[in-house]
């Protein structure tokens, strides 16, 4: 997979993902951004944030951080992707990152580590609905899970030469 030079968007700060393969970090929830703001200074890749949704007090913490602004608005039962932002129904980094990849004209989206909630957990339905909303968009891309997930996403192996 490395020889194909994928664009790797890492959701939030994640020490499990080797930093040298990360193209950019993605965060969209204000609380998460505040909690991880000290870690951003140590990152070698930029972080993509919805600057318009971040309070001034948090923006001050980001003054010396390499970041890119991709807009985000939250509207119930909505999912739209634009050139410079998106509208989704919940502030979830996964769908913010999917929106960024789509807006950036990716060929496809490979997801790793989105194990999924238990089917009995109400968040499972929220995430499943967001996948359905995304798939119904005219500009949606094929999404494949390359690790085990409980969501209704096609699963593929990166070791398959035809993948």
**162 occurs within a structural domain:** no
CA 103/CA 117 separation, integer angstroms: 27
CA 81/CA 98 separation, integer angstroms: 9
Between β-strands 9-11 and 143-145, what pairing exists: parallel, antiparallel or unpaired?
Answer: unpaired
Contact 33, 27 (CB under 8 A): yes
pTM over cut 0.85 = yes
**69 occurs within a structural domain:** yes
Contact 88, 77 (CB under 8 A): no
- Number of structural domains found in the chain: 1
**61 occurs within a structural domain:** yes
CA 146/CA 149 separation, integer angstroms: 9
The residue segments making up the domain with residue 47 are 2-155
pLDDT digits over 37-94, tens only? 899 989 999 999 999 999 998 888 888 888 999 999 999 999 999 999 999 999 999 9
**161 occurs within a structural domain:** no
**44 occurs within a structural domain:** yes
pLDDT digits over 100-156, tens only? 999 999 999 999 988 878 888 888 899 999 999 999 999 999 999 999 888 888 888
**113 occurs within a structural domain:** yes
Residue 144: CB atoms within 10 A of its CB come to: 17
**160 occurs within a structural domain:** no
**163 occurs within a structural domain:** no
């Amino acid at each position: 997979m490395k020889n194909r030079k994928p664009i790797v968007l890492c959701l939030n700060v994640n020490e499990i993902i080797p930093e040298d393969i990360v193209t950019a970090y993605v965060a969209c929830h204000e609380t998460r951004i505040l909690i991880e703001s000290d870690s951003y200074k140590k990152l070698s890749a930029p972080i993509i944030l919805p600057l318009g949704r971040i309070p001034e007090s948090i923006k001050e913490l980001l003054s010396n951080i390499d970041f890119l602004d991709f807009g985000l608005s939250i509207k119930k039962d909505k999912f739209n992707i634009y050139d410079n932002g998106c509208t989704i129904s919940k502030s979830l980094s996964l769908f913010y990152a999917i929106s960024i990849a789509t807006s950036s004209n990716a060929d496809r989206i490979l997801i790793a580590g989105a194990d999924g909630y238990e089917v009995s957990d109400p968040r499972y339905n929220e995430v499943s609905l967001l996948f359905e909303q995304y798939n119904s968009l005219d500009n949606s891309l094929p999404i494949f899970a390359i690790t085990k997930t409980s969501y209704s996403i096609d699963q593929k192996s990166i070791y398959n030469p035809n993948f």
